[in-house]
Amino acid sequence: MSRTLVIGFGNLYRRDDGAGFFVVNALRERLGRPPLGEEDDGFDDLGHAVDTLLLHQLVPDLAETVAQYDLVIFVDAHVEPIAGPLHEEELEVCPREALVPHQMHPCTVLALAHDLYGARARGVLLSLRGHDFDFGMGLSSQTAALVPRAVERVLALSGALRGPATG
């Protein structure tokens, strides 16, 4: 069975920077699972064909978990220079010289999983254009409108059923 891990990351308290939180919870709803709360990370609910995590930032310790999956989809927000409101990027393992622990990029997590555990997970970065990064909770209307499209894309990438599924 192919396993997918969806990691929403960003600062929930900086409006659109929390886009990953909203995408992950909308995905969980589609999969028939309860939402994760502000303080939940999802580690206690792993073990499904499609698993979800919510993190404030990416950390080196994540490599061990990532190594257990065939596909890892990182969901975040982006700002203007990236083309399109919903951007998808196939990730490669970062070169060794790019491994800077205090600036964890998704490719860095993939590189650590590869180097430490021999993992060959496919990585995809799915980012939603953010418009408001001020302090506060909730997404701007423009970014919120992208959440359903992002969930559909995650479902398509993972091959998951389009309705509620059991894990």
Using 50, 70 and 90 to split pLDDT, how confident is the model at 99? low
How far apart (Å, rounded) are the C-alpha atoms in residues 128 and 9? 12
Chain-centroid distance of CA 98 in Å reads 21
pLDDT digits (tens, 9 = 90+) for 111-154: 999 999 999 999 999 999 999 999 999 999 999 999 999 999 99
Please give the class, per CATH, of domain 4-158: alpha beta
Assess whether pLDDT exceeds 90 at residue 95. Answer: no
Assess whether pLDDT exceeds 70 at residue 26. Answer: yes
Q: What is the mean pLDDT of the chain?
A: 90
- Rounded to two decimals, the pTM is 0.91
How far apart (Å, rounded) are the C-alpha atoms in residues 31 and 155? 9
pLDDT digits (tens, 9 = 90+) for 43-72: 999 999 999 999 999 999 999 999 999 999
Rg (CA), the chain: 15
Q: Give the mean model confidence (pLDDT) for residues 85-103.
A: 75
Which pLDDT score is estimated for 163? Answer: 45
Report the SS3 class of residue 8: strand
Query: Hey, how many other C-beta atoms are within 10 angstroms of the C-beta on 35?
Result: 15
Name the residue ranges covered by the structural domains of the chain: 4-158
Eight-state DSSP code of residue 133: -
Q: Give the mean model confidence (pLDDT) for residues 102-106.
A: 76
Which pLDDT score is estimated for 45? Answer: 96
Assess whether pLDDT exceeds 80 at residue 1. Answer: no
Place of tokens 């302090």: 135
